[in-house]
Chain A
Amino acid sequence: MTIAALRRLQMPGLAKMERVIVSMQDPDMGIKMRNQRLLITVIPHAMTGNDIVEWLIQKYSISEEESLHLGNLLVKHGYIYPLKDPRSLVLRADDSPYRFQTPYFWTSSKWPATELDYAIYLAKKNIRKQGDLIDHEKDNYNLLHKRINHTWDFVVMQAREQLRAAKQRRKGDRIVIDCQEQAYWLVNRPPPGALNVLEHGPERRNCHISRVQLPENTDYYKREIECCRKAMGRTRVKSSICLEGYIKFNEQYVPHDPIMSGCLPSNPWITDDTTYWAMNAPTVMTPTKLRVERWGFGFSELLGDTLGRRQLLEFLKKEFSAENLSFWEACEELRYGEQARIADIVDSIYQQFLAPGATRWVNIDSKTMERTLEGIKTPHRYVMDDAQMHIYMLMKKDSYPRFLKSELYRSLLAEAIMPPETKKRVFPFMRKQRHSSPSPALLLPTGEPEVKAEDQSKVVAVPMES
């Protein structure tokens, strides 16, 4: 793999960026370049910052803000450089002159930047400025002088030679070459504190240090084939049916989506008023209308809400099937419980719900009961799965529809509150004081503090440790 190809693999954005740059230079559809005047010198094949922004707006149908952002990325990655004020890789949307970087200096071609090249560059600068380098360049120069001291004669010789050759060129060319080089080094050796666009995260795909089976192994392909074969036999649903599902889901849930539809009385993040959270706390006296409505969207919504589950329990008690919910909860405890306690939990479930004459005996079909009783002889985390599913489906298909039609649910809906919208603040600068809330880590595992409808939070001392 070539260096450029490797670079593109590691920074996938570069290839795309280069395509943009190439189309920007297209003779027909690209930016119209012309001579730009830099004080008294004329630089050919240049464009203004405005040209760049305008072209991007036209080409991609984006706003000026986005165009400026994208243009700035092109400049920061060194694909376009400024002629005026070349030390700052920034795109200005005015008549500041810019030029396309020569492909020789592209981030993907000339990488990685070598210490030797950097030393020669700094040496040239040092000679030209007669020792007056800026801070970080001075530091780097001294560092390199120490590190590659054995080739320093070569460095200085190269620097002198390049300077001599440059003197023979026209002023315009000299300026361009200087700017090109400067831009390249600003990208590859950014000053401390400046944005380093070449920074990347930890290396990926260095799996040679781990011993996992990866695509050089027959087992990997055997697994893929197995997975594919199973997938071939899968039942699929027509797209038209699946996609309808999104439309329905969207209709149902958008009114409940605070970002889409706002929330009453107000979004705490916007107004600093936490009433919304207080009113929707896990256990409030009176839930909101939206919340109670949501319990009707599906069984998992009812079950997943602390208050909803409590109401379900009340309802099931009336129907003398409360043990179903308790059994389901006990099974959840098993599935997500501590490994060491599995045998105990299984036994406890058996004693409470499955043993003949158990106080809270659950009504499971005989086949499932038989399988489960056999399974608990060698208890494991998933031993109750079948029984749990059976009871879950029972509640979902049988109890839940009745719950929704019940007097209990109807009165909950009727009594549910609809908070009024907070009037918009007249004086935007009068910010409400933001109070802390008790951390869940402070709560005892046995209970939760009662939350009233008004915000009852108090400021909590916050020890900082590192």
Chain B
Amino acid sequence: MATEGLHENETLASLKGEAESLKGRLEEERAKLHDVELHQVAERVEALGQFVMKTRRTLKGHGNKVLCMDWCKDKRRIVSSSQDGKVIVWDSFTTNKEHAVTMPCTWVMACAYAPSGCAIACGGLDNKCSVYPLTFDKNENMAAKKKSVAMHTNYLSACSFTNSDMQILTASGDGTCALWDVESGQLLQSFHGHGADVLCLDLAPSETGNTFVSGGCDKKAMVWDMRSGQCIQSFETHESDINSVRYYPSGDAFASGSDDATCRLYDLRADREVAIYSKESIIFGASSVDFSLSGRLLFGGYNDYTINVWDVLKGSRVSILFGHENRVSTLRVSPDGTAFCSGSWDHTLRIWA
């Protein structure tokens, strides 16, 4: 009925208005306790000296754009995935390839190493997340033991195992995140709240907590309670898609990288953005960010083929690393902080130390 439709639209508009005004008031509340800037507090911290990091390994073997990578807990193995569906496990120290599997889809945008080191997870345009146990048996085909775990209604953008091999957290272009039981494929919890594609997620490094953060095309970074599925905190200060989120090592904050060419730091206790890492000469978006072990440095891989290194406390850029010949799509610091790995659309991965 025509009048019903009208009522629906009025409600939608008024709800939208209410949400906007509440968000405005929330920002006012947040601003009340903001009595000092991070770089001011950091004035008494010693400035960083000469910064030298070089490519120590170049991993060649993908025939197409590298989209994602993850480290194994053994600090030297990695898994990487690419546009042509290939997923490779490397011992990046020797640069040997140890396993390879070809997914039945292209654009494998997400991959993760299981905590035990015995399996990997990956997915992309197939809208699924699949788990492959790693086998050294020459007679066994890795693809044969594949387990289809997650099912979304749009592309898989990110995945991560929780504290065990038995649960996976996924983020998808369908606007949701979800927690799955690997063995049965059962959906344990889903997380609704993003207004567009979810592009990234990171689990909080807490012994007690059960939270994670996600970022999306709606420019929002959201912190979730894994148990209840509720959104605990939400931040909306970026001007474009958030491509990457990563917790600060203490768990009290997280950084984000966005298509608006900035990286930002959000403090969870202050409940606000506390730093912006940007430079006028940086034009293209940050695709992937990660902290050094102490959290003093933030590494950002950018779509302009470079890696920018930021002093997290002082807010300044420490260095810019050249080398890749196309977009840097993925970047992770190794588990013991001795190096970081970058993957690029130039088909290669590099280890920097």
Contacts and interface: CB of A to CB of B under 8 A. Distances in A.
Nearest to B120: A441
Contacts of A246: 38, 41-42, 248, 250, 253, 295, 312-313
Given A60-B280, A223-B193, A439 B136 contact: yes
Nearest to B320: A66
B301 interface: no
Interface of A: 12-13, 16-17, 20, 56, 60, 62-63, 65-66, 69-70, 73, 195, 199, 201-202, 204-207, 209-218, 220-225, 227-229, 231-232, 234, 236-247, 249-250, 253-254, 256-260, 263, 267-270, 274, 276-277, 280, 299-300, 303-304, 332, 335-340, 381-382, 385, 389, 392, 434-437, 439-443, 445, 462-466
Contact of B107 (A201, A267, A435): A201
Nearest to A342: B181
Q: Is the interface of B mostly helix, strand, loop or mixed?
A: loop
A239 B252 CA distance: 12
Nearest to A217: B12
A299 B163 CA distance: 18
B136 A210 contact: no
Contact of A207 (B141, B175, B248): B175
Chain B interface extent, by class: 35 or more
12 contacts: A199-B345, A212-B174, A213-B192, A231-B233, A240-B36, A247-B44, A254-B296, A259-B292, A269-B353, A270-B56, A441-B134, A465-B141
Contacts of A277: 75-76, 336
A73 B327 CA distance: 12
Contacts of A243: 36, 38, 41-42, 267, 270, 274
Contacts of B306: 69
Given A269-B338, A466-B100, A466-B102, A253 B293 contact: yes
B231 A227 contact: yes
Interface string B279-315: 1110111000000111111000001111000001100
Contacts of A268: 76, 93, 338
A147 to B, nearest CB: 24
A212 B153 contact: yes
Give the 4 A-B CB pairs with smallest separation, nearest first: A440-B117, A257-B294, A253-B294, A210-B153
B47 interface: no
Contacts of A257: 292-294, 296-297, 337
A53 to B, nearest CB: 13
A252 B151 CA distance: 43
Given A223-B192, A465-B100, 14 more contacts: A16-B284, A202-B173, A204-B196, A207-B174, A207-B197, A224-B19, A231-B233, A239-B34, A240-B36, A240-B41, A253-B295, A434-B94, A462-B97, A465-B141
B281 A221 contact: no
Interface string B180-207: 0111101010001101110100000011
A206 B173 CA distance: 8
B78 to A, nearest CB: 12
